Every structure is written in structure tokens, then in C-alpha cells.
A = this chain, B = another copy of it.
Amino acid sequence: MAIPRAAKTLRRTRIQEEKEEQILEAALDVFSVSGFRGSTIDQIADVAGMSKPNLLYYFRTKEAMHRALIDRVLYNWLEPLRAFDAEGNPESEIRSYIRRKLEMARDFPRESRLFANEMLQGAPHVLDMLKGPLKELVDEKAAVIRAWANSGKIAHCDPYHLIFSIWSTTQHYADFDVQVRAVLGEEHSGDGRFEDAARFLEQLFINGLLPEHARG
């Protein structure tokens, strides 16, 4: 007789690890394209290559699947911002933050779209995280940027909007990938496009933030 699913968490079997992994991978595929409401359990089961009830054996509801997926993806998503270092040199810190965010957009576009979908819907599942941990992290990094500006290392600017603009420009290449491809033409895809974007954005932000005394 099957044990009530609440007990499942007491000891995790090999099969549990594998199947949950498999399911979340499929869920990422589906949720990142259609959002929560637009995705169906059947779709996810299809992609995961298992039956719907089997899927529901591991995650009791669609909600639970979505929550598990977001939890698992969230931590890594904020890693680049966490790595942003107050002790470092502003130019190289900003440069490598842009690089890292751009690499994530290239290597984890589904994760980017998952969040974008969530934002468009008003962040019903992650609002607390935005107002809590995310805000705190951004506040901390904004203070760093402000200190750089005050000591003349970069131009005076609103650090929050600077962070927003790095987020938006880099994530754009994941979230609006279709549009970027349509406008540039298919020939400009792959690494060339990535390098062009990186070069442009670094130029934009580095020159855009050059301290006042460094301009003519």
C-alpha cells in the first residue's frame, strides 16, 4: 500500500530524485513558454514522458510543481548580483556583471522566461521574495554603487535604475529572443550575436557611467 505522500519527504529514494528532476525539467520547458495559467499538467507529463497521475504522484498539484520549480531556479538566478563586489574596481565589476547576466540569458533562457512570465502576471507566486530578499540584495548593491559615485569612481546616477537597466538589457536577449532573431535575421544567431551584444552593452554602460571629470 502506498504511503501518504506527506511521508515522502522523510526519506528520498533514487527514483524520486530522478523523476522529480525529470518533471521539473519538463515543467520548465512548458511554464517558461505559456506561463502558469496557460500550461497544462498533460503538456508537462507529455514532455516528461510519463503519465499524468504519475506526475501527480510526485507533485500533488500544478501549483506545487510551479513552486518547486521557482524555488529551485531562484537561487542561481540571483547569483550574478550576489557576486557583484564592493571591493572590486567599478569598471571591471560592471563589465563582468553584464557578462554574467548575458551568459545566463544565453545559457538559461527558459529560466529567464519563467520569471518574465511570472512578472507579467503580477508575480503572484514570488511577490514576497521580491519585496524581501531581492529588495534587500538590491538595496545592498545600490549602496555600493552610490559609494562609487560619491567617491568619483563613476558618474553620479540612480543606482536602482542602473541595476534595472542591466537586468532589462541582458534578459531581453532571452525573453525577446524571437524578436531579436527576426530583426537581425537568422544568420546573426549563435555566438556572434552574443559577442556583439556584450561588446555593445559594455561600451554603453562603461562610457555611460564614466565619471564627470573623465569627460571632455
Indicate whether A203 sits within 8 Å of B155 (C-beta atoms), given known contacts A119-B178, A120-B116, A130-B178: yes
Q: Is the CB of B178 within 8 A of A169?
A: no
Q: Is the CB of B183 within 8 A of A121?
A: no
In this complex, how many residues of chain A approach chain B with their Cβ under 8 Å: the count is 63
Copies in the complex: 2
Closest chain-B Cβ to A176's Cβ sits at a distance in Å of: 5
Chain B residues with Cβ below 8 Å from A216 are 213-216
Contact segment of A4-12, A20-28, A51-59, A193-201: A193-201
Closest chain-B Cβ to A43's Cβ sits at a distance in Å of: 10
The prevalent SS among residues of A at the interface is helix
Q: Is the CB of B179 within 8 A of A119?
A: yes
Q: Does A60 contact B (CB under 8 A)?
A: no
Indicate whether A199 sits within 8 Å of B158 (C-beta atoms), given known contacts A123-B178, A178-B119: yes
Q: Is the CB of B157 within 8 A of A203?
A: yes
